[in-house]
Structure 1
Amino acid sequence: MNRPIHDAFQAVQASPELKKRTRAYLHARRTPARPRYRSLLAAAACLLVVFLGAGGALAWFTPVSAVSVEAGPSLELTLNRFDRVLQVQGDSTQDQELADKLELTYLSYTDALEAILGSQEVSQALDSGTELAVTVAGQNQQHCQDLMEDTQSCAGHGSCSSADWSQVTAAQKEGLSLSKYQMLLQLQALDPSITSEQVSECSMHQLRQWLSDLSSGQDASSSSDCGQNTGSDQGFGNGNSGGHHGSEGHHGAR
């Protein structure tokens, strides 16, 4: 190169701003642009998380089974598909106070059942001769069977039975727990004049005696007045009004 021309170019100095823009341009040329589908995948992933979150919440708060526990106090547990307690309904004001005191909401079913059986009110009722009766109803037969096995392992004594899922709503309309509603059906099969109000006033022990008297053809007139009795088997809170579910009903979300 001609020396004067070389010397002339040597005197040229690039400004810092020009150097910065040049480096940015060269970097952009060397680095391939990120494919747009990556942004789309990221957006889809976000939507999936939101969808799964909503579905999980729906599954958590959807009742799929109900368990009635009669042991002096009468409590009915509404469970989700994870066997967690969504709601507890007492058969009377005293029973509801017990339910509130035990704070069973969101406990696992087995923990809730153990808390109920371990409470002072239920322990006293069982010690005085009250029979434990647990009735399970659910939308899935296998799930009900699993709940029954859990019940038997926790309770260790008493009677366990299963109910049709349709009986949950029917029991609610009659203002009865599942256990008492099943007794109502058996009693009405022998005497259609028997009402849910009569059944609501009786303990499970008295209802079984009433059913036994009717089945054997004995005079059951005294058993029909069991709501007026005050025997030890009445336990805690059995003198209920039969309206423990109220007009709204605790299974109304189904």
Structure 2
Amino acid sequence: MNEKIREAFHQVKAEEELKKRTKKFIYDKTKGYNKKHMYHIYYVLIPAACMLFIFIGYQIYFTPTLAISIDINPSIEMEVNRFDKVIAIEGYNEDGEELVNLLQDVKYMNYADAINQIIDNKEILTLLSNDEIMVISIISQDNEQSMRILSNIESYTSDDTNIHCYHGDYERLDEANKLGLSYGKYDAYQKLCSLDINISIEEIQSMSMREIHDLLATYLEDDSSGHHQHGHGH
């Protein structure tokens, strides 16, 4: 009887040892598989996450949030991102294209440095010294950014009475560019048309802002004088 009990006990103990060894074997194998499996996941996911981060960063950096139209004749426009960096510059007439070719290094500059370089350009300085008018239009859907930049540019250009800055209507920017006009020239074109002054897009492209200003002034003066004479007739 005692012998049977001992045999049964040894059998149970042997089974327990077998179970332990089996569990250890499975654990070791499974653990090794998981490590390899996780390494494979990390190997795929980490580069993918880096590429996604780069793509999102690229999209954010190269998405314009504001445009700065600079018109004197030349006429040019700069696109600025949310970090106040110039990401594109384009000329909207022949003179503008020539100036842009001289200003390629303003890309990726802070907008303030770019404005400074444009105004300090020899050709622009000559035009301003000859009593030409420069109009700087700030156009953006981001009111906070546009008002801040407008305020900064107004402060920077306050000593030059021939430089005028204002906030433009973002909704009209795309329409202006589709017509091949900078925002500043388009705004002037709209004002002339509203006064029934017959002028083509090609003509407005080639005119300086001084010529446009003088045309408007002459028309308004004649119109005012006409009204005055008409009133006198009564």
| Superposition TM-score, scaled by structure 1 size | 0.65
User: What is the Cα deviation at residue 217 of structure 1?
Assistant: 3.9
What one-letter code is carried by the residue in structure 2 that aligns with 1:89? E
Check if 1:78 corresponds to 2:79.
yes
1:117–1:155 CA contact under 8 A, matched in 2: no
Correspondence list, 1:139-178, <5 A: 139-156=141-158, 157=160, 158-178=163-183
Aligned pair partner of 2:130 in 99, 103, 128:
128
Say whether the 8 Å CA contact 2:73–2:96 is kept in structure 1: no
Q: Per-residue CA shift, 1:46-86, capped at 9, x if unaligned?
A: 44332221101011222222111123432211222222222
**CA distance in structure 2 between the aligned counterparts of 1:151 and 1:205, rounded to whole angstroms:** 20
Amino acid across the alignment from 1:124:
T
Among the aligned pairs, what percent are the same residue?
Answer: 23
Verify the 8 A CA contact 1:73 1:121 in the aligned structure 2: no
Residue aligning to 2:184 = 179
Q: Equivalent residue for 2:88?
A: 87
Give the gaps of 5 or more residues in structure 2. Answer: 1-23, 225-234
Matches within 5 A, 1:100-139: 100-103=101-104, 104-139=106-141
Select the structure of larger CA radius of gyration: 2
The structural deviation recorded for 1:44 is 4.8
Distance in 2 between the 1:152 and 1:45 partners? 47
Please give the alpha-carbon distance, in whole angstroms, between the structure 1 residues aligned to 2:33 and 2:148: 52
46-55 vs 112-121, greater mean Cα deviation: 46-55
SS of equivalent to 1:214: helix
Call closer, same or farther: CA 1:199–1:93 in 2, change over 3 Å.
closer
The 5 Å alignment of 1:1-254 reads 39=39, 44-103=45-104, 104-156=106-158, 157=160, 158-191=163-196, 193-218=198-223
Q: Using structure 2 for the length normalisation, give the TM-score.
A: 0.70
Cα-to-partner distance string for 1:142-170 (whole Å, 9 max, x where unaligned)? 12112212212332332111212222211
CA shift for structure 1 position 38: 6.6
- Distance, in Å, in 2 between the alignment partners of 1:192 and 1:137 is 26
Aligned-CA RMSD value? 2.8
Higher relative contact order (Cα pairs below 8 Å, separated by 6+ residues): 1
User: Would you say how many aligned residue pairs link Structure 1 and Structure 2?
Assistant: 191
> Cα distance 1:172–1:50, how it changes in 2: closer, same or farther (>3 A)?
same
State the distance in 2 between where 1:94 and 1:178 align: 16
The structure-2 alpha-carbon separation of the partners of 1:73 and 1:198, relative to structure 1 and needing over 3 Å to count, comes to closer
